[in-house]
Chain A
Amino acid sequence: MSKVRVLVGTRKGAFILESDGKRQKWDVSGPHFAGWELYHVKGSPVDPNRLYASQSSGWFGQLIQRSDDGGKTWEPMDNKFVYDGVPGTHQWYDGTPHPWEFKRVWHLEPSLTDPDTVYAGVEDAAMFRTTDGAKSWQELSGLRGHGSGSRWQPGAGGLGLHTILLDPSDPKRMYIAISAAGAFRTDDGGTTWKPINRGLKSEYIPDPNAEVGHCVHRIALHRSRPNVLFMQKHWDVMRTDDAGEQWREVSGNLPTDFGFVIDVHAHEPETIYVVPIKSDREHYPMDGKLRVYRSKTGGDEWEPLTKGLPQSDCYVDVLREAMAVDSLDSCGVYFGTTGGQVYASADAGDSWMPIVRDLPAVLSVEVQTLP
Chain B
Amino acid sequence: MIRIVLPAHLRTLAKISGEVELEVNGPVTQRSLLDALEARYPMLQGTIRDHVTQQRRAFVRFFACQEDLSHESPDEVLPDAVVSGAEPFLVVGAIAGG
Q: A residues engaging B (CB < 8 A)? A: 35-36, 57-63, 76, 79-82
Say whether B47 faces chain A, with CB atoms less than 8 Å apart. Answer: yes
Task: Tell me whether A58 and B59 are in contact (CB under 8 A).
Answer: yes
* Least CB distance, A34 to chain B, in whole angstroms: 8
Binary A-proximity of B2-17 (CB < 8 A = 1, otherwise 0): 0000010110010000
Give which listed residue, B10, B46, B52, B94, contacts A62 with CB less than 8 A.
B46
Between-chain CB contacts (< 8 Å), 7 pairs: A36-B9, A59-B9, A60-B47, A61-B57, A63-B43, A76-B13, A80-B45
Complexed CA–CA distance, A62 and B52 (Å):
13
Complexed CA–CA distance, A79 and B45 (Å):
8
**Residues of chain A contacted by B52 (CB below 8 angstroms):** 82
Nearest 6 CB-CB pairings of A with B: A60-B47, A76-B43, A59-B59, A59-B93, A80-B51, A79-B46
* Least CB distance, B56 to chain A, in whole angstroms: 11
Say whether B69 faces chain A, with CB atoms less than 8 Å apart. Answer: no
Give which listed residue, B9, B51, B97, contacts A60 with CB less than 8 A.
B9
Give which listed residue, B43, B46, B51, B60, contacts A59 with CB less than 8 A.
B60
Complexed CA–CA distance, A43 and B80 (Å):
50
Task: Tell me whether B47 and A61 are in contact (CB under 8 A).
Answer: yes
Complexed CA–CA distance, A81 and B13 (Å):
19
**Residues of chain B contacted by A36 (CB below 8 angstroms):** 9
- Size band of the B side of the interface? 10 to 19
Name B's interface SS: loop
Q: Closest residue of chain B to A58, judged by CB?
A: B59
Task: Tell me whether A60 and B57 are in contact (CB under 8 A).
Answer: yes
Task: Tell me whether A60 and B45 are in contact (CB under 8 A).
Answer: no
User: Quick one: given A35-B9, A82-B51, are A60 and B43 in contact (CB under 8 Å)?
Assistant: no
Interface centre among A60, A63, A79, by most B CB within 10 Å?
Answer: A60
Complexed CA–CA distance, A81 and B59 (Å):
20
Interface centre among B7, B51, B60, B94, by most A CB within 10 Å?
Answer: B51
Say whether B48 faces chain A, with CB atoms less than 8 Å apart. Answer: yes
Task: Tell me whether A63 and B13 are in contact (CB under 8 A).
Answer: yes
Name A's interface SS: loop
* Least CB distance, A4 to chain B, in whole angstroms: 29
* Least CB distance, A158 to chain B, in whole angstroms: 16
Task: Tell me whether A59 and B45 are in contact (CB under 8 A).
Answer: no
* Least CB distance, A76 to chain B, in whole angstroms: 4
Complexed CA–CA distance, A80 and B94 (Å):
23
Binary A-proximity of B80-98 (CB < 8 A = 1, otherwise 0): 0000000000000110110
Task: Tell me whether B10 and A60 are in contact (CB under 8 A).
Answer: yes
Complexed CA–CA distance, A61 and B93 (Å):
12
Task: Tell me whether B46 and A61 are in contact (CB under 8 A).
Answer: yes
Task: Tell me whether A80 and B96 are in contact (CB under 8 A).
Answer: no
* Least CB distance, B15 to chain A, in whole angstroms: 10
User: Quick one: given A80-B51, A82-B51, are A59 and B94 in contact (CB under 8 Å)?
Assistant: yes
Binary A-proximity of B21-60 (CB < 8 A = 1, otherwise 0): 0000000000000000000000101111011100001011
**Residues of chain B contacted by A59 (CB below 8 angstroms):** 7, 9, 57, 59-60, 93-94, 96
**Residues of chain B contacted by A57 (CB below 8 angstroms):** 9
Complexed CA–CA distance, A63 and B43 (Å):
9
Q: Closest residue of chain B to A77, judged by CB?
A: B43
**Residues of chain B contacted by A76 (CB below 8 angstroms):** 13, 43
Q: Closest residue of chain B to A75, judged by CB?
A: B43
**Residues of chain A contacted by B50 (CB below 8 angstroms):** 61
Complexed CA–CA distance, A61 and B47 (Å):
6
Complexed CA–CA distance, A35 and B57 (Å):
18
Complexed CA–CA distance, A169 and B89 (Å):
55
